[in-house]
Amino acid sequence: MLDSNKIVRSICYFTDNPTSKIEKKLYELSEKLRQKDFTLQTLRICCANPNISHLQDRIRDKSIYLSVGTLTLAQAKSQINNFFIAQNTSFNIDLTKVFNVDQYIDLLFQIIKNKPEKTFLFAWVFNNRLSSPFYPSAAYDRNGFSIGLQPTDMAADCNSLEQWFAKLKTVWMELYNILKDDPYFLGIDSSIAPLLGQQSSFIHFIKRIDNSFSHSTTTDIYLAITKFLKENNPKPIGLCGLMFPALEDDELAQEYENGNFSIERNIYLSLHSGLGIDTYPIGANENPKRISEILITVQALSTKYNKALSVRFVSDGKAKIGEKTNFQNEFLRDVVIKTL
């Protein structure tokens, strides 16, 4: 296996007391993994304290991605201006048991109107799994750190699921053996997290095996992958599922533009193998009622199957339905927006 393909997307430290000691611990962990030929993308801190300004003030290194985890609607509204000016700070709102989701829609449109780039840092969650290192779903449970990889890159020279699985298992075991003696090691979130670029595209790998993304959606390929993720991870934590980020995977974004990744197909794939609606583009003029209908559907499915799901819609604040986005975000591909 190519060492360059051993990519850690995130080391996330969960703490009830964010201090320089936590930053130091992250640096030590990243150095330990670099010495074992891992490539590190991001260091993250998720705090138990829901105060955005407090977390910003306590962490000096502004390259570290921050999260205050799960907020109530009241907490989010009272801090919305702090959220707008905060650097790299995420949060989510839990709608699992919310009776009326309509009152939560205004918050999204407030973000779209005032600071649209922040839609990337916000999500609604349902039956969320704690201690995931992936944002914005991350939520504090106890002190310690978890790790998430970018496993798509390890499929670069694989022509079968079995080849890829063998590489994934090898890297998980290597990570586990490096960190198992650390009492604060919470585990590995084995979720498949794609990124822009052909080598990092999950759908590129799927099409190499199946030829057609549309055809693959009614095969058992995604079920086989999630089964492997859950049964072979030596220390699972967090979500451990498939991510279908519509705009963070080049070839999935192309499928969206081609009409092959509708919101219905997204929900369908999430229900049996995925983790929800992620970086899905919406027009600045999208009907709030339509968003409410989708949230209610996802909520009901999450409850029915006791499955962790989330919804993260993104907007550039200007592009309407039928227009092309201009996110100016290195992690998002621009597309022509379709109606939900």
Supply the pLDDT for residue 20.
Answer: 94
What's the confidence (pLDDT) of residue 3?
Answer: 47
How far apart CA 251 and CA 201 sit, in angstroms, is 7
pLDDT at 1: 37
Tell me if 22 sits within 8 A of 56, measured CB to CB: no
pLDDT at 4: 58
Domains and CATH numbers, the chain: 3-314 (3.20.70.20)
Can you list the pairs that 298-301 forms with residues at least 24 positions away whose Cβ atoms lie under 8 Å? Answer: 298/126, 298/267, 298/270, 299/95, 299/96, 299/98, 299/101, 299/126, 301/267, 301/271
How far apart, in whole angstroms, are the C-alpha atoms of residue 4 and residue 1?
9
Q: What is the pLDDT of residue 283?
A: 98
Taking residue 104's Cβ as centre, other Cβ atoms within 10 Å add up to 17
pTM confidence score: 0.95
174 burial (CB, 10 Å; 0-12 / 13-18 / 19+) is middle
Q: What is the number of other CB atoms lying within 10 angstroms of the CB of residue 99?
A: 7
For residue 75, give Cα distances in angstroms to 51, 139, 211: 8, 15, 47
- Look at residues 290, 277, 263 and name the one whose alpha carbon lies nearest to residue 105: 290
Beta strands 144-149; 185-189: pairing state: parallel
Question: What is the token pair recorded at 75?
Answer: 């907490």
Q: Tell me the pairing of strands 276-281 and 309-314.
A: parallel
pLDDT of residue 195: 86
> pLDDT digits over 214-269, tens only?
999 999 999 999 999 999 999 999 999 999 999 999 999 999 999 999 999 999 99
For the chain, report the end-to-end CA distance as a whole number of angstroms.
41
Low-confidence ranges of the chain (pLDDT < 70): 1-4
The tens digit of pLDDT for each residue in 303-324 reads 999 999 999 999 999 999 999 9
Report CA-CA distances (Å) from 174 to 111, 235, 239, 267.
41, 12, 20, 34
For residue 2, the model assigns a pLDDT of 41
Q: What is the pLDDT of residue 339?
A: 96
Beta bridge partners of 122: 91
φ/ψ (deg, to 5) at 38: -90, 145
Q: CA separation (Å) from 255 to 74, 120, 137, 156, 260?
A: 37, 20, 25, 20, 5
